[in-house]
Amino acid sequence: MANVNVKDYQRETHTTKSRLSWLWAEYSVIIAFIILFIGSSILNPRFLDMNNQLNILMQVSIIGIIAMGMTVVMLSGGIDLSVGSVLALAGVISVLALNASGSVLVGVLTALLVGSFAGFLNGLMVAKGRIASFIATLGMMAGARSIALYIADGGSVSGEVTGFTSIANSDFWIFDVPVLIFFAMTALVYVLMHKTRFGRYVYALGSNEKAALLSAIRVDRMKIGVYTLIGTLVGVAAVIETSRLNSISSSSSGAQYELDAIAAVIIGGTRMTGGRGKIIGTLFGVLILGILNNMMNLMNVSPHLQGFVKGLIIIIAVVFQKRE
């Protein structure tokens, strides 16, 4: 009788541990977000101020949009290091088109087209050229930045059309328009990845490319589509970045955005090897980065150390992923 009770106890303990492991694996980023939010509230009362909360959302909107595209790329088993440089290039060319045409719509469409085309080229190099995504996008990072510097003569270009700045400096209810665009892009990518055939194929591609190919999935087209998608989202981010200050810097705009986007995706639980991850996880990963940046600023942490903190968080997130 005693042995039966011991076995029942062991079985219940094992079941409890399994449930806790599943709970942590599925919701670890949300749990981390809650803990960080509560801890920040305790450490600094100014953190809970409504204006500060809205400011956090505004600050993460551009990186958040890029991170949604980065999630799709990483789910497919790739990576894109060119997002910051492509943003600068799209911004420079869009402002020139804006000034030449006098039309805000032309400026916006130009940014989207430049971003999409750069992403399309990345996809071609990865899919048709059989170049590793790290190398292909590293080359695009250098090339796009160089072209932006050449066009802008190493400086900044400013918009000359009234109304362009209203894109990033308007608000609806209590939210700034960039925040609403960020939420809209998150919703669109969520539906695309979790409710459509495209999303299922991306997961299949990231899990096992050979199996996906044998399953009659057009792997090359999927790769091109994935990189074109992130390029388009970078174009959206370029519009917001340019509109916010009515100018874009060919040298500094978009600098290290790839690091922040990749950090948000990894913190959100997406595997570097692809095939596993969620858009909602990336959303909370972006918010976690936003809170960390905000708290470091509120606590007067040196900006020179903030990159170290982000790098440390990426390493910790990867270590936890390997233990799952």
Check if the beta carbon of residue 264 is closer than 8 Å to that of residue 291: no
Q: Tell me if 25 is assigned to some domain.
A: no
Q: Tell me if 71 is assigned to some domain.
A: yes
Alpha-carbon distances, residue 264 vs 105, 259, 285, 300 (angstroms): 31, 9, 4, 23
Q: Tell me if 9 is assigned to some domain.
A: no
Q: Tell me if 15 is assigned to some domain.
A: no
Q: Tell me if 14 is assigned to some domain.
A: no
Q: How many domains does the chain have?
A: 1
pLDDT for the residue numbered 8: 58
Global pTM value: 0.91
pLDDT for the residue numbered 1: 47
Q: Is 26 exposed, middle or buried (0-12, 13-18, 19+ CB in 10 A)?
A: middle
Q: Tell me if 253 is assigned to some domain.
A: yes
Q: Tell me if 4 is assigned to some domain.
A: no
Q: Is 44 helix (H, G, I), strand (E, B) or coil?
A: coil
pLDDT for the residue numbered 311: 80
pLDDT for the residue numbered 91: 96
pLDDT averages per 10-residue partition of the chain, 324 residues = 54 60 71 90 90 94 97 96 97 96 95 97 96 96 97 92 89 90 97 94 93 91 96 97 93 92 91 89 94 89 81 77 57
Q: Which CATH number fits the domain that encloses residue 109? A: 1.10.3470
Alpha-carbon distances, residue 173 vs 179, 185, 239 (angstroms): 12, 19, 22
Q: Tell me if 73 is assigned to some domain.
A: yes
Residue span of the structural domain in which 89 resides: 31-40+48-323
